[in-house]
Amino acid sequence: MSLSSLTKDWEPMSYGFLDASAKREIRRKMLKAVAVPGCQMPYASREVPMARGWGTGGLQVSLTLVNPKTTVKVIDQGADDSVNAASIRRFLARVSGAPTTLDTLEADLIQSRHRIPEEKLRADQVLVLQVPNPEPLRPVQPNMSIARQMHADADYGRMWLQLYEQIVRSGRVMQGASYPSLVNGRHVMTPSPIPRWDVPKLHMAEHLTILSAGREKRLHAVPPFTRVEPLVFDDVPYKVEEHGELICGRSGAKGFFMNEIPQDDGTSTYEISDSDYGVKTIRQAEGAQVHLGETWYKNGELS
């Protein structure tokens, strides 16, 4: 048996850049990840024409899921127009022939770095999150063999200890992103470095979320209608960022996650982080026929 007898070089084998065996493996691992929500599944993680740490995990999942009819949207920190998002979007379109969009509502497949769009995702949409570090136990247990035993035993006491230490030292939970969350009452996962604002969007969501770390060669998933509960003390409630009262300086939108833009005089203005939602809000204000989807937050409160 030789490598050439195992591998065929005909055209459809490399549709969407990845070869069929790589896709087959990632599909299997995605199915496993869906079957055991929040549990990390190792995968080989092929080379893609992008540096590790720039979204290779998310890209491999997207390349596996994409087909010529899939409408693809790529965002980076909420923005469609960042260099990274634009590069990945163009690459996906080039290798698969799939149409692309900036509109969350039109997309079938959304690859995102560090944000979940403000408009609610539907059951027919898939969200792929790029993950730099999939192991929530790493800050408390650097030995990955022991960390895996801790996952097997649901030994998550030290995750609360981390929160305890933050409250003792700073008076409040300081975990701004990658907030550890219990999935389906069993596995603690890191929801990728999305802000605390976005974590509740994963709870009992209609859409499938796949979280993939290319450098770390692991993926995990939050299937539709799955409980995602941020770790909290019974007497210290979970808090999202206080952005409810902030108003977007460009679109006038209020009650969404904002980017802070420091000004020369020391003050700050704010701009909605979900750039597509901001653009749609501006266009609607100008009188254009724009469909704004239902949002997870209304007036800064989770609906």
Partner 1 sequence: MTIALDAPRLVQAQPLLTAQNVSKSYGDVQAVRDVSAEVFPGEVLGIVGESGSGKSTFLRMLNLEETPDTGTYTLDLPEVEGNLFELDRFARRMLCAKRIGIVYQNPHLGLLMNHSSSGNVAERLLVAGERRFTELRERASEALQASEFPLERLDAPPIELSGGMQQRVQLAKAIALEPALLLLDEPTTGLDVSVQALVLDTLKRLQQDRNITMVIVSHDLGVIRTLADRVMVMRRGAVVEAGLADQIFQDPQHAYTQQLVHAKL
Q: Does residue 144 touch partner 1 according to CB under 8 A?
A: no
**221, 240, 224: which is closest to 232 by C-alpha?**
240
* Rounded Cα gap, residues 134 and 46, in angstroms: 17
The size of the interface with partner 1 (CB under 8 A), counted in residues, is: 16
151-170 footprint of partner 1 as x/- string (CB under 8 A): --x-x-xx-xx--xx-xxx-
Does residue 105 contact residue 291 with C-beta atoms inside 8 Å? yes
90-129 footprint of partner 1 as x/- string (CB under 8 A): ----------------------------------------
Does residue 119 contact residue 105 with C-beta atoms inside 8 Å? yes
Minimum CB separation of residue 133 from partner 1 in Å reads: 20
Q: Does residue 13 touch partner 1 according to CB under 8 A?
A: no
Q: Pick left, alpha or beta for residue 16 (phi over 0 → left; psi -120 to 50 → alpha; otherwise beta).
A: left
Q: Does residue 51 touch partner 1 according to CB under 8 A?
A: no
Q: Which is nearer to partner 1, 225 or 233 (CB)?
A: 233
A 10 A CB-CB count for 156 gives 18
Does residue 274 contact residue 208 with C-beta atoms inside 8 Å? no
Distances from the Cα of 82 to the Cαs of 86, 88, 113, 276, 302, in angstroms?
6, 10, 11, 12, 27
Return the SS3 of 1.
Answer: coil
Does residue 274 contact residue 117 with C-beta atoms inside 8 Å? yes
- Residue tagged 């022939």 (tokens): 97
Q: Does residue 143 touch partner 1 according to CB under 8 A?
A: no
Q: Which is nearer to partner 1, 24 or 172 (CB)?
A: 172
Q: Does residue 149 touch partner 1 according to CB under 8 A?
A: yes
> Which residues between 224 and 263 bind partner 1 (CB under 8 A)?
233-236
Minimum CB separation of residue 287 from partner 1 in Å reads: 51
* Rounded Cα gap, residues 298 and 23, in angstroms: 39
Q: Does residue 171 touch partner 1 according to CB under 8 A?
A: no
Q: Does residue 145 touch partner 1 according to CB under 8 A?
A: no
Q: How far is CA 234 from the centre of its chain?
A: 27
Q: Does residue 11 touch partner 1 according to CB under 8 A?
A: no
Which span sits near partner 1 by CB under 8 A: 14-22, 147-155, 250-258, 271-279? 147-155
Minimum CB separation of residue 139 from partner 1 in Å reads: 11
Minimum CB separation of residue 269 from partner 1 in Å reads: 36
Residues engaged in binding partner 1 (CB under 8 A): 149, 153, 155, 157-158, 160-161, 164-165, 167-169, 233-236
